[in-house]
Structure 1
Amino acid sequence: MKSIRRLVALIVTAIICVLTIALLINNYYLRPILIQWVDMNKELLGFSETYIEADLNIRVMDNVVSQVTSTQIIEPGRLIRIKDAHNENYQNLVLKFDQLISINQSINGTLTSLEGYSLLSFFINYDNFVNLFKNLAEKTEAINNSILDLSDISITDQKLSIVELHKEYKELRAPLSDVRLKYGELTGQVIPKFINILNITLIVLFVIVTVLASLLNKVAGRVLRYIFDSFKILNSNNYNVNNIPRLKSTFEEEKLIGEFVDDIFNERLFINKIKEIVSTEYIIDNIIEKLLVLVKDILNTDRIGVAFVDYKKQSIIAEHGAFNYGKVLLGPGFEVEFHKTGLTKLIDTKKPIITMSIQNELAKRPESESLKLLNQEGIKSNMIIPLIINNVVLGFLFFSSVEENNYNSKSVQFGVKISTEISNILDKTYLTKKMFSTATRTFANLVEKRDNETGNHILRMTQYSRIIAEELINHLDSNYRVNESFVSDIINYASIHDIGKIGIPDEVLKKPGRLTNEERTIMQTHSTIGASILTDLEQSLKIFNRDFYRTAIDIAHFHHERWDGKGYPEGLSGLHIPLAARIVSIADVFDALTSRRVYKDSIGFEESVKIINEGSGTQFDPQLVRVFNNALQKFKDVYESDIFTNKDYYYEKQFRLSNNKAYT
């Protein structure tokens, strides 16, 4: 495609070339011709003046000769004076004709020089002028010879010679007049033609400039109309690129302007989508996940993460991450102190940074744990944007790619706009998440207070549920494949699976020993009671336009359903049972088997594993049992852990991990 910039450059170059050529022709061709031609006129004028002056000398000499040769007696003194006058005028006459000969030679040299300018013969035919001048020069030379011959003749014998000389002198007047008339005629031809050349050059330049100005005006008018119409549409909050009037792209710059306007529309559309997200979402997990969907192609980004600054603890804590590859190693809960991270500089400068190569940066800072984890994940480059509220850095937004050198200044501009839009809502969603985590912890404590024997049970079974859920990330079967939000919900809500027990009478709930059939029926109502409690809570949160407790309801309502359909309360079977309930069912039973109750002793780890496998395909989902078997070491680590002795520590860790897709 043609470039108007290159076209303008070409036209300007052409103008410069025309001007340069014109200047060169003028300075090295026309000007020398005109100068020599004008100088020749001066010489002809000098010739004429000298010629006229010589007439007096000839007349004086003729008068002297006439007196000397007359019959009158001339006294000696006067004779001497008139002879001196004769000699003086003779010498002056010789000098004047020497000047005329010199002028002729100069004019002849000029004519010889002009013969080298072939362009002159194109304008005028001066051959006749040359012939006329040669005739003038020959007659001048002849008169000059006659004058020189007088030196050999005495004054008394010069009468006839001077008369003849005077005759030749007068005959010179006609060729001189012819030369001057011809010169004037030729000058009348040369000057106008040279002026015409100048005018033609100026006209050509004017036409070129006019064409260029017209072209630029046409393109500018078309582009300005396009920009005006486009921004008029943009001002109406219509961000659909298809509604933009199409710009006829004759030149490359017009195409670039069209692409620039398209970029503005796409950017505004993107920002509008972000605003829609932040106006409808109240959970940080969902915001980050939806943000990744929006930017993964625009910024070629494979992972987005967010971390918050804890000024009290002087540390930075990873909160949530969304990614489109395998497991992450640097996940939520990762904490680094100010003095151990380069992010501290960003708190002071408040400026984004780009790491073109994680490997190269790790080579410079091998002690950085975060760089090690990112490198192990396969992240090659990243971009970090400070989240700023009221000129204070709240946290950081991380954009990461599996390709090196993925981000540039344009990416930073885009990232800053994103952070500007979501900074406030991230702060609010972070607090929202804390609020719901606290609410979940309160519910769990309610159950613990009603049923003292199950206090640590809800802590362990939550960990077991988390392990199974994390193993399902990127599962090949879409019926089992989960994302980090699902894992987060499992972590948050598995602990309240038995929330309905607060509605069970104490004589049944706290009865030592086995329950009767009637008591068992009453106990089984805890699943519907729990679902009812959470459903009422969910309805009160409809203002947020999100089913905050949907997963919690599924867990509380259906965690006693069986794969073969023989469970309660609805008798669901197979995949009709919500996945979250199927996961919690295995975790709940496994911890119940390995825990001591008032009505039974605990069963060993290996025996409990065997019982779970025996229930595969009847009580439990066989696919989840296979996942359970693949994660036995992680189950055993929890089984043998003493983390649950400090519940405040446990709940804080749960909060930090509640949105991790792949906790390792």
Structure 2
Amino acid sequence: MYRNKNKSIINLYREQLAIIVTLFTLLIIAFFSLLILNIYRSHQGTILTNSLANQSTLTQVLAKDANRIFEIDSVLKVYNGNGESKNTLQNKMNSTLKELQQSRDAYQKQYNSIKHGYITYNNKKVSFKGISNDELNKIFQQHDKIWSQYNYNINIILTNKNTLTDLLKSTRYINENNQTLLNQNDKITSIIQIYNSNQTQVYVNILTGIGILILILLGIFMINTYINLFLPMNQFYRGMTQIGINDISTATPKFKGEELKPIFYEVQTVFNKLKSLINIIEDLSKNVPFRNILDRIFNSFLEYVPYTYIGVALIEDDGEIIKASYVSAAKEHKDLAKRMLGLKAEISSTSLGDVLKSKKARLINDLDEYVKGKKMREYNKILLEEGIKSSITFPLINNDKPIGIIFFSSSKKNVYKKEHVEFLKIVANSIMLSLEEDIFIEDMVISSTLALAVLTEERDPETGEHLNRMKIYSRMLAEYLSKENKYKDVIDMTYINAIERFSPLHDIGKVAIRDDILLKPGKLTKEEFEIMKTHTTYGGKVLRMADENLKKRGRSIFAMGIEIAEGHHEWWNGTGYPYGKQGEEIPLSARIVAVADVLDALTSKRPYKRAFSFQESLDIIIEDSGKHFDPYIINVLLKNIVKFKERYRRFNRNQQ
């Protein structure tokens, strides 16, 4: 018990405290090392994912450009003066040839880098030279064999001096081997990502092991402190009592009594917070959608920080607009998420602009008092009506570039303190990293797919802004339906945003339809119409393949897009295509888009018809209610027809 007889209590206290402080410092260093390592490795993994995914995208671009060149060349060689001018076609040919060459060169350059064990992305180099894999080398050999012939056929196309037969052979080879090239790239990507993930796990295990060792040492020295300090002090008080100087009832520390409970719980809380933060860091290193991470964060710190609502607003339109994009709320705010999601405001008209400029947290402990005497903004009105009384606002900044705002709010007043701000600041920074990666990945995938849809529309110059108009009509219909009792629990802001995002992909399958059918000014023959109908299943197939690849990485994005692509030509009475579904067998999203698509198609000029007036178009749609269209949706359309007519007029004004 008395191993340090020659040392005073104060010296023992200083020594033990110094050791404990040192161990705590080492523990914090290990924790932040783990944090920095995960952020760094996550960033490295993102670069690898983006670069390797770009290889697959480039193979698709190569095949698309080859097909496009063959189509244009076919038209030029039999040009009869109809349709687009010869100069216009030649310009399209030159532009596509240039794009094909650039894509081929970019693919070759990146592939050479991958073979040498590194990739370069935005002037950043990521190495994986430590990888040793016979399977990878075998894939390289198979890839080189196919790529040699693939590249040879691209060169044939690039010469632009071939007969249609030669061009057809080269284009056919590229189309037939494109999927093989994609599969090989996917295998290369999978092997490299597994290697990168394993390397990350090794480093994490090492740092975790160091942290555990430090915790064990800390426990040992805590016991040592108890033996060298608390027991001698207890003995001291007992000795004082024996000679009548002190009363044992007041002098003896109650190690198991009430006095030490606050200290025990405070220490326990610190370690629980530390564990929660480590769990968040682990989530950040996984490819998990941000909405899932936000829910995990919401449930992780309720015991330590008083909040009942977390909201994330993202900056849009080149920094002009801020939009409520993600929400996680307690049950007491049952309508808060639905009312807030999708709400937009001009940053310059709100105090959030000052938060972003200052890059500092803002604490409001009485929201009622804060808004008193100020112009009531829509979002503040909703927050107050839903019971929010106080909040902490953090700007989300990455490399001096603001990407949004995060709010931690409570249903009680005067609950936030300085320590809450400091603790949540760490959480906010972690959220920012995960959020930026999630947005980047989803936007990259969807933007690439939408670009293909836009390219399909541009093959027909008469369609103009069709995608944008029908997208707006689709969103309006979804918004009005969400206010009806039948769909108020089905259509929320997430659904509305999704239908706006994916409705332009409804005709993406038309990329597979030949120009002579797609652009035919007259009525299609029975055989031609059967070919045209395949654009629905082809569109679903394209989006389903994209979604399956994403599922391998823990994501699924295109579920609604698949519903829309396959179902927007199904009829309510079961006479539509491709599957002959009827009634509510047809997905709701497809039924909404069907109405929006036809409304714009009827009011727009096409090669085979004039543009009908709004009333003429409406009469046609009403006549087809219960046959072509869901009658409930048509009733909602008619109920809000003034708004749709106003939007139609705005479209016409913009075109003039």
TM-score (norm 1): 0.53
Sort the Cα spacing of 1:334 and 1:429 in 2 relative to 1 into closer, same or farther, 3 A: farther
Judged with a 3 Å threshold, the aligned counterparts in structure 2 of structure 1 residues 414 and 636 are, in CA distance, closer, same or farther, namely farther
Q: Distance in 1 between matches of 2:447 and 2:478?
A: 22
Specify the alignment match of 1:594 in structure 2: 603
Q: What residue in structure 1 maps to residue 476 of structure 2?
A: 467
Match of 2:545 in 1: 536
Shift of 1:289: 6.4
Give the letter for the 1:351 counterpart: K
Whether contact under 8 Å (2:343, 2:379) holds in the other structure is no
Equivalence for 1:322: 327
- What is the CA–CA distance in structure 1 between the aligned matches of 2:523 and 2:603, rounded to whole Å? 18
CA shift at 1:501, angstroms?
Answer: 0.9
Identify unmatched segments of 5+ residues in structure 1.
1-200, 220-249, 647-664
Provide, for residues 602-648 of structure 1, a one-character-per-residue CA deviation record: whole Å limited to 9, x for no partner: 333334334434444443334433433343333223212249959xx
CA deviation map 1:300-353 (0-9, x unaligned):
43450233499xx7767446242652654794653323xx65445545654322
1:509 shift after superposition: 0.9
Partner of 1:417: 426
What is the rounded CA distance, in whole Å, between the counterparts of 1:267 and 1:624 in structure 2? 50
Corresponding position: 1:457 with 2:457: no
Structure 2 residue 645 is the aligned partner of structure 1 residue 636: yes
CA contact (8 A) 1:288 1:304 kept: no
1:493 has 2:498 as partner: no
Deviation at 1:361, TM superposition (A): 2.4
Report the CA distance shift for 1:268/1:481 in structure 2 as closer, same or farther (over 3 A): farther
Distance in 1 between the 2:619 and 2:416 partners? 52
Task: Look up the match of 2:454.
Answer: 445
**Cα distance, 1:494 vs structure 2:** 0.7
What pairs up with 1:352-501 in 2 under 5 angstroms?
Answer: 352-366=361-375, 380-389=389-398, 395-400=404-409, 404-405=413-414, 407-409=416-418, 411-473=420-482, 476-477=485-486, 481-501=490-510
In the TM superposition, residue 514 of structure 1 has moved relative to its aligned partner by 2.0
Q: Distance in 2 between matches of 1:588 and 1:618?
A: 16
The answer (yes or no) to whether the contact 1:561–1:577 under 8 Å persists in 2 is yes
For residues 494-525 of structure 1, the C-alpha deviation after alignment (integer angstroms, 9 at most, x for no partner) is: 11100111111222111112222222211111
Out of 489, 511, 517, the position equivalent to 2:526 is 517
Q: Which of 302, 308, 312 is 1:305 aligned to? A: 312
1:505 pairs with one of 501, 514, 530: 514
| Contact persistence 1:358–1:381 (CA under 8 A) | yes
Structure-2 change in CA distance of 1:541 and 1:329 (3 Å):
closer
- The one-letter amino acid of 1:483's match is D
Q: What percent identity do the matched residue pairs reach?
A: 34
Q: 1:417 to 1:629 in 2, by over 3 A?
A: farther
The Cα offsets for residues 639-662 of structure 1, whole Å up to 9 and x where unpaired, read as 12249959xxxxxxxxxxxxxxxx
Of residues 618, 626, 629, the one that matches 1:609 is 618
Question: Contact between 1:299 and 1:407, CA under 8 Å: does it hold in 2?
Answer: yes
Q: Secondary structure at the match of 2:405?
A: strand
Conservation of the 8 A alpha-carbon contact between 2:325 and 2:341: no
Structure 2 SS opposite 1:452: coil
Q: 1:553 aligns with which of 562, 566, 585?
A: 562
1:334 and 2:373 are equivalent in the alignment: no
Render the CA deviation track for 1:343-398: whole Å, top value 9, x for unaligned. Answer: 45545654322223334323354497875786688754332013344677654212
Distance 1:636 1:392, change over 3 A: closer
The Cα shift of 1:530 comes to: 0.9
**Contact 1:467/1:631 (CA < 8 Å) preserved in 2?**
no
Q: 1:440 to 1:581 in 2, by over 3 A?
A: same
What are the residue-to-residue correspondences of 1:206-285 with 2, within 5 Å?
A: 206=245, 208-209=247-248, 211-216=249-254, 218-219=255-256, 251=258, 253-254=260-261, 256=262, 259-260=265-266, 263-264=269-270, 267=273, 270-271=276-277, 274-275=280-281, 278-280=284-286
| 8 A contact 1:282–1:432 mirrored in 2 | no
Which residue is equivalent to 1:620? Answer: 629
Q: Distance in 2 between matches of 1:567 and 1:517?
A: 15
Secondary structure of 1:638's aligned partner: helix
**Distance in 2 of aligned mates of 1:392 and 1:594:** 43
**CA distance in 1: counterparts of 2:413 and 2:636, whole angstroms:** 35
CA RMSD of aligned residues (A): 4.0
Structure 2 unaligned segments of length 5 or more: list them: 1-239, 329-333
The aligned amino acid for 1:538 is: D
Q: Hey, what does 1:571 align to over in structure 2?
A: 580
Matched with 2:235 is: none
Please identify the structure whose Cα radius of gyration is greater. 1
CA distance in 1, matches of 2:363, 2:517: 62
Over 3 Å counting, the alpha-carbon distance change for 1:320 and 1:643 in structure 2 is farther
Q: CA separation of 1:544/1:274 partners in 2, compared to 1, >3 Å: closer, same or farther? A: same
Q: How many residues align?
A: 411
SS of residue paired to 1:633: helix
TM-score of the pair, normalised by structure 2: 0.54
Alpha-carbon displacement from aligned partner over 1:133-164 (angstroms, at most 9, x marks no partner): xxxxxxxxxxxxxxxxxxxxxxxxxxxxxxxx
| Closer, same or farther: CA 549–474 of 1 in aligned 2, 3 Å | same
Distance 1:479 1:369 in 2: 21
Letter paired with 2:325: H
Instruction: Show the 5 A alignment for 1:93-104.
Output: none
